[in-house]
Amino acid sequence: EAGVVQSPRYKIIEKKQPVAFWCNPISGHNTLYWYRQNLGQGPELLIRYENEEAVDDSQLPKDRFSAERLKGVDSTLKIQPAELGDSAVYLCASSPGGRVTEAFFGQGTRLTVV
């Protein structure tokens, strides 16, 4: 069974440019998470989806970040415009749904904003 797939693995962009990350969760997993991980720190939740509904986006900087999960499967996270402080690893994870008994992570996208 395929795990959580993210692309791209690396992205380097200039500040003020847009960038998008893509995530394909494990088949059948209703819950999808986007986390941001700064260097040397633990991941912090940006947004959580239950199917296609964003149920927790309180930590998402909505002035520049947006996300969507069409049809409750794949998800895209976008930053526009990117700032230097957005340099981080962006992790996508999925779980079957309901309470968090286990979350499965993708390999993440390392974003560098120059």
Which CB, 27 or 101, lies closer to another protein? 101
Q: How far is CA 112 from CA 9, 11, 65, 67, 83, in A?
A: 11, 6, 16, 19, 10
Fill in the per-residue mask, 26 to 55: x = in contact with another protein (CB under 8 A), - = not in contact.
-----x-x------xxxxxx--x-x----x
Query: Using CB under 8 A, which residues numbered 62 to 91 contact another protein?
Result: 89, 91
48 contacts: CB under 8 Å, gap ≥ 6: 31, 32, 33, 34, 54, 55, 56, 57
Contacts with another protein, residue ranges (CB under 8 A): 31, 33, 40-45, 48, 50, 55-56, 89, 91, 93, 98-108, 110
